[in-house]
């Protein structure tokens, strides 16, 4: 095919599912958004009461607001873990179905269309697009 890389750019409330290995993202098929966000929180050492609040939030956007109220640096760690995980899971998914390696980079944005996090691979792919 000649495709070496894909840049995923999307709303964090949708792409969070990819971090959990859910690739059919329609809400009628699978959810787990809060649980995946909470797992990302746990992976970087967020305090249990904050994780519980994120898990109880009605939306991923509300979960993001809870994290932002705690600490901007902590929010960045959680979302950096998420986008790195999306890169890994998406590349593995493509390889499992095609036996072809593919570089995947991820950028996620919030409801205000502000970038929340981007993986290092996303930065590299984005710069390649600008150069080419």
pLDDT tens digit sequence for 5-15: 999 999 999 99
Give the pLDDT confidence score for residue 79 in this predicted structure.
Answer: 98
Cβ 109 vs Cβ 64: under 8 Å: no
Query: H/E/C letters for each residue in the chain?
Result: CCCCEEEEEEEHHHHHHHHCCCCCCCCCCCCCHHHHHHHHHHHCCCCHHHHHHHHHCCCHHHHHHHHHHHCHHHHHHHHHHHHHHHHHHHHHHHHHHHCCCCEEEEEEECCCCCEEEECHHHHHHHHHHHHC
35-53: average pLDDT:
98
- Please report where in the chains the tokens 């690739």 appear, as a residue: 23
- Short-list 14, 19, 37, 11, CA closest to 109: 11
- Residue range 78-129, pLDDT digits in tens: 999 999 999 999 999 999 999 999 999 999 999 999 999 999 999 999 888 7
Give the pLDDT confidence score for residue 88 in this predicted structure.
Answer: 97
Mean predicted lDDT score pLDDT of the chain: 93
> What is the domain extent for residue 127?
5-131
Give the pLDDT confidence score for residue 112 in this predicted structure.
Answer: 95
Contacts with 96 (C-beta within 8 Å, 6 or more apart), sequence order:
none
- Please report where in the chains the tokens 């994120």 appear, as a residue: 54
- Is the pLDDT at 51 greater than 80, yes or no? yes
Q: What is the pTM of this model?
A: 0.91
| Domains of the chain: total | 1
């Amino acid at each position: 095919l000649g495709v070496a890389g894909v840049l995923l750019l999307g709303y964090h409330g949708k792409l969070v599912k990819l971090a959990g290995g859910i690739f059919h993202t329609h809400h009628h098929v699978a959810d787990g958004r809060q649980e995946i966000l909470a797992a990302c929180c746990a992976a970087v050492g967020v305090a249990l009461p904050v994780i519980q609040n994120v898990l109880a939030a009605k939306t991923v956007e509300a979960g993001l607001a809870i994290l932002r109220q705690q600490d901007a640096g902590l929010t960045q760690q959680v979302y950096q873990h998420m986008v790195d995980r999306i890169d890994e899971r998406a590349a593995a998914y493509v390889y499992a179905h095609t036996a072809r390696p593919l570089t995947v980079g991820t950028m996620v944005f919030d409801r205000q269309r502000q970038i929340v996090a981007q993986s290092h691979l996303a930065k590299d792919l984005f710069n390649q697009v600008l150069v080419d």
